[in-house]
Amino acid sequence: MGLTLAHPIVSGASPLTADLDLVLRLEDAGAAAIVMHSLFEEQILKGAMRRPRQRRGSRTPAGGVGCGSIPAYARFADEYLEHLLRVKTRVRVPVLASLNGTTAEGWLHYARALEQAGADALELNFYNVASSPAESGTAIEQRLIDIVAVVTGTVRIPVAVKLLPFYSSVPHLAERLERIGARGLVLFNSLYLPDIDPETGGALTDVHLSGSSELVPRLHAIAAVARFSGMSLALSGGVREGVDVVKAVMAGADVVQVTSALLRHGPSHLTHLRSAFESWLSQHGYESSAQIRKSAGIVRDRRLPSADRTDYLSLLQSWDPDSYHSH
């Protein structure tokens, strides 16, 4: 995306970045870049119902990002914008703002405000779980394209798009996003859906932290896109150890976003990941992550679809019924 990074390990969007001291700890631990926690349009609108009205066009305490150029209720994003400004003045690594909107107007106006607040790049965090039979997959994808086209046509900073893993053809969608100006793609957003409590019949809500078992679908998606796309690619989800970073880069990722592992182990886990990754490079004779990416056959092999079906068939036929009876 045009950002200069020391290595491919990035701190992904998480509650950690809401605290300036923790942001500084992430940088000290070695984060190559920091993605801020998301600015949610719903939170802004909810705040607008609680706080007194302010004259349209008045300047914010942070120096005027926002209110003169966006709707009056957007002033309730001021705390996020002020925090972003403080982070930018304290850290040296690139800082990406994250935006999770609900309306076309919101996506556009807040994207402008985040750019004015000093973000080096913008991550558009799309979280849309299809739940209505009245809306087709094509319509959902087109709405995404329309929003990205408006944002990329308005802001000057590079824009990345973070997706859920539900689109029927991620490589096709990636190609469309690249044509309209997206500079990066983040695969994938974590899915937070309620479980069912069988005793009460009610919903159980809990934060699910991803593990290494969720890495493989992301590796496959990155590899499928990397063979054709010129966008920068970020793998998000399932990265816990240094070898997971190696796999991601081999698949074609430019960076990995680490979130759950940091929430589990704290910012210092970044130091562990970087050390383990660089040790693997040294032990295997690589001087840079770019060398791994270029040498990985999974990215170079354009026969991936037929190879997938061959592997699928082989795996199904590899099961030995005798191993079951032996137990």
- CATH for 296: 3.20.20.70
Residue 25 in any domain: the answer is yes
pTM reported for the whole predicted model: 0.85
d(CA 149, CA 147): 5
List, as one string, the DSSP characters of 82-129: HHHHHHHHH--S-EEEEEE-SSHHHHHHHHHHHHHTT-SEEEEE----
Residue 309 domain-assigned (yes or no): no
What would the mean pLDDT of 207-222 be, rounded to a whole number?
86
Mean per-residue pLDDT of the chain: 86
Contact 235, 170 (CB under 8 A): no
How would you classify the pairing of strands 184-187 and 159-163?
Answer: parallel
Cβ 273 vs Cβ 254: under 8 Å:
no
Q: Cα separation of 64 and 228, whole Å?
A: 42
* Structural domain contains residue 216: yes
Q: Decide if 314 is inside a domain.
A: no
**Distance separating alpha carbons of residues 212 and 264, to the nearest angstrom:** 13
Instruction: Give 71: exposed, middle or buried? Use CB within 10 Å, 0-12, 13-18, 19+.
Output: middle
| pLDDT tens digits along 68-120 | 444 444 555 889 999 999 999 999 999 999 999 988 888 999 999 999 999 99
Range of the domain at 293: 9-302
pLDDT at residue 65 greater than cutoff 50: no
In a domain, 311, yes or no: no
Please check whether residue 20 lies inside any domain of the structure.
yes
| Number of compact structural domains in the chain | 1
- Cα dihedral sign, 96-178-258-205: positive
Are 17 and 36 a contacting pair, CB within 8 Å?
A: yes
1 inside domain: no
Q: Are strands 195-196 and 203-204 parallel, antiparallel or unpaired?
A: antiparallel
- pLDDT, one tens digit per residue, over 21-64 is 999 999 999 999 999 999 998 777 765 445 444 444 444 434 34
Q: What is the pLDDT of residues 156-188, one digit of tens each?
A: 999 999 999 999 999 999 999 999 999 999 999
Report yes or no on 3 lying in a domain. Answer: no
